[in-house]
Amino acid sequence: MTDRALVVVRAGALTTVQDQGRPGHAHLGVPRSGALDAPAAALANRLVGNPTDAAVLETTVNGCAVRPRSTVTAAVTGAPCPVTVDGRPVAWGASIRVPAGALLDVGTAASGVRSYVAVSGGVAVEPILGSRSTDLLSGLGPAPLTDGMVLPVGTPTTHHARVDVAPQPAPPSELVLRVTLGPRDDWFTPEAQHTFTTSTYRVSPASNRIGLRTEGPTLARAVRGELPSEGMVLGAVQVPPDGRPVIFLADHPTTGGYPVIAVVHPQDLPATAQATPGTPIRFIEVRRR
């Protein structure tokens, strides 16, 4: 067992391969995909000595377990969770050595939703359109992990970061999202626009990598009828017929026919990756300069 690969022992609820995604292909109908909590994925890579665009594993809620066929340096970031090597507790948010044949087990998130597992050399599945990311909407990239799957691992090029534990933001107890209204805010009544920026919504359990769905007040339209399909961007807040906002995330469709009332500030989006169902959400309007 000397080849550089990971054997998936426990795939978890949903574990995918993610990197920085494949932006720039929306005109072909290809979403950008990539890690939902990009800062957490980048930190995991830095801790093991990878470039920030190396592919990592993104787990959902209950983690995963993998067995490397050769010794690797690993790190787990994102949602805090118990981490063990052959049953012995090791540090979360720090560089750890995993011997060849040992079992690296990433447990259930204590808070937050998604954890990130980096190994030295990165997950070296075949890139598609310049990215190794799994895209759940288009089906591009490797399939979500299943038990028994074998993932190739690249060769390390640098040393890992020499820190004990890297500081990371805690998963949010409340999402405060800065938004710029438009381009279709005029499709909603003035009362609905006021409701959108003053009310508290909550994260719906129906949320996924495509979009964060909300529960809360409905937004009434001022304009009836259908809107022709138009391009969608990361962070667009689309309002479907039920009147409850949906925030488009990494695997979002590239076009849509429901009006977009606002767009979330890019720096606020990583926190949505860690918001558990029921987390309060407030949309704060930021004026265009």
Q: Provide the edge-to-edge strand list for the sheet that holds 115-119.
A: 16-18, 56-58, 115-119, 72-78, 96-98
Which pLDDT does position 1 carry in this prediction? Answer: 43
Domain ranges for the chain: 5-152, 175-285
The list of the chain residues with pLDDT below 50 reads: 1
Cα separation, 232 vs 121, in Å, equals 34
Do residues 116 and 57 lie in contact, with contact meaning Cβ atoms separated by under 8 Å? yes
Other Cβ atoms within 10 Å of 163 Cβ, number:
12
CA distances from 77 to 2, 97, 156, 233, 273 (A): 26, 15, 19, 27, 13
Fold type of domain 175-285: Cyclophilin (2.40.100)
Cα–Cα–Cα angle for 225, 227, 232, rounded to 5 degrees? 150
CA distances from 162 to 120, 128, 159, 226, 246 (A): 14, 33, 9, 56, 40
Which pLDDT does position 165 carry in this prediction? Answer: 61
Span 235-268, pLDDT tens digits: 999 999 999 999 999 999 999 999 999 999 999 9
Distance from first CA to last CA of the chain, Å, rounded? 59
